[in-house]
Amino acid sequence: MYQSYPNAARGLKWMFIAEILTLVSVPLMAIFIGSLTALAATVLNLVGLYTATHDDAGYFPALYAAIASLVVSVLSNAFRNRILTTVLSVISVVLGLFIVYQVITTSLNLLDGRNGTLALRGGYVIKIYVVCTLVVIVCMVLSVIPIVDILAAVVSIVAAIAMVVGYVFYLMFLYGASKALV
């Protein structure tokens, strides 16, 4: 009989809801409710990670990275220096990759081979996120260089489309893992 991890399951469920709220907030950013929705998503994500830590300490690094990412995001918006903003954006993207990686690997460790489909999905998410993150980082660095920034913008759009696929897989992973860990 497999062990259940109700706190991790509940935490992943909160993270799933937070990701859905993030999706909803994007088109609403033009109005005030979008900012509130994004704030709610951020809080739910942190609550979800904190809740999951009660079942496995492997979620703590993701929680710390999420807090650091929030601080970096605030700092990034505070500066107008293009190079400093780019560096902070790169840090934020790397932290995002780390969070996804840590959540997936910790969840898969808890599942202990129970669900091959989730393991495959988690592997796809990590691979897509790693490749897209590397492409985005290169594009961010190249965007500082005049003229090359146009090519970097085009490549970033392609990477963003690929990242949407990874994001959908990540949502499916969070939902499936939250159900499997109960």
Which residue is it, tokens 């939902």? 175
Q: Which of helix, strand or coil describes residue 1?
A: coil
Dump strand ranges (E) for 15-169: none
pLDDT at 1 over 70: no
pLDDT at 27 over 90: no
**Confidence at residue 86, expressed as pLDDT on a 0 to 100 scale:** 85
| CA nearest neighbour of 155 among 182, 173, 126, 131 | 131
**Confidence at residue 115, expressed as pLDDT on a 0 to 100 scale:** 82
pLDDT digits (tens, 9 = 90+) for 107-161: 999 988 888 889 889 999 999 999 999 998 998 888 888 888 888 888 888 888 8
Residue 7 CA to residue 60 CA, distance in Å, equals 13
pLDDT digits (tens, 9 = 90+) for 87-96: 898 999 999 9
**Confidence at residue 173, expressed as pLDDT on a 0 to 100 scale:** 94
Mean pLDDT over the full length of the chain: 91
- What pTM did the predictor assign? 0.91
Q: What is the DSSP letter of 58?
A: G
Token digits of residue 126: 């990590």
Q: What is the mean predicted confidence (pLDDT) over 57-85?
A: 92
Give residue limits of the domains in the chain: 6-180
Residue 103 CA to residue 155 CA, distance in Å, equals 28
Query: Rounded to the nearest 10 degrees, how much is the dihedral formed by the CA atoms of 133, 127, 49, 7?
Result: 170
Residue 22 CA to residue 19 CA, distance in Å, equals 5
Question: What's the sign of the alpha-carbon dihedral 94, 95, 101, 105?
Answer: positive
pLDDT at 38 over 80: yes
